[in-house]
Chains A and B, each alone.
Chain A
Amino acid sequence: MRTLLRRSPPRPRSDAALKRHKWYVPLVFVGPVLILQGTFLFTPLVNTFVLAFTDASTVGGGTFVGLRNFTDLAGDNEFWAAVGRTFIYMAFTVPVIVALSTSLALLVNTSLRGSSVVRLLLFSPMVMPLATIAVMFQFVLESDGLINQVLAGLHLITEPIPFLSSSDLALLSLMLVTIWKGCALSTLITLAALQNVSTELDEAASLDGAGWLRRTWNVTLPQIRGTTILVAVLVSIAVLRVFAEPYIITGGGPGTSTETIVLYLFQKGVSPGTQAGYASAISLVLFVFVLAIAAVSWMLTKRRRA
Chain B
Amino acid sequence: MRSEAGIPLAPSYGPADLPPPESIPPPGMFPFTRGNFADGYRGRLWTIRQYSGFGTPEESNERYRYLLAQGGTGLSVALDLPTQCGYDSDHPDVEEEVGRVGVALDTLADAEILFDRIPLDAISTSFTINGTAAILLAFYVAVGEKQGVDRSKLRGTIQNDILKEYVSRGTWIWPPRPSLRLIADTIEFCAQEVPRFNAISVAGAHFRDAGANAAQEMAFTLADGVTYCDEVMARGRMTIDEFAPQVSFFFYTHGDFFEEVAKYRAGRRRWARIVRERYGAKDDRSCMFRVGCVAGGASLYAPQAHNNIVRIAYEALASVLGGVQSMFTAAWDEPFALPSEDSATLALRTQQVLAHETGVTRVADPLGGSYYVESLTDEMEARVVEIMDDLERRGGMVKAVEEGYLHRLISEEAFRVQTAIASGERTVVGVNRFETDEDPPEVEGYEMDEKGRIRQLERLAEVKRSRSAADVRAALAALDAGAGGSENLMPLLVNCAKAYCTVGEMVAVLKDRWGEFRQPTVF
Our verdict on whether A and B bind, yes or no, reads no
**Which residues on B are within 8 Å of A, measured CB to CB?**
none
**Which residues on A are within 8 Å of B, measured CB to CB?**
none
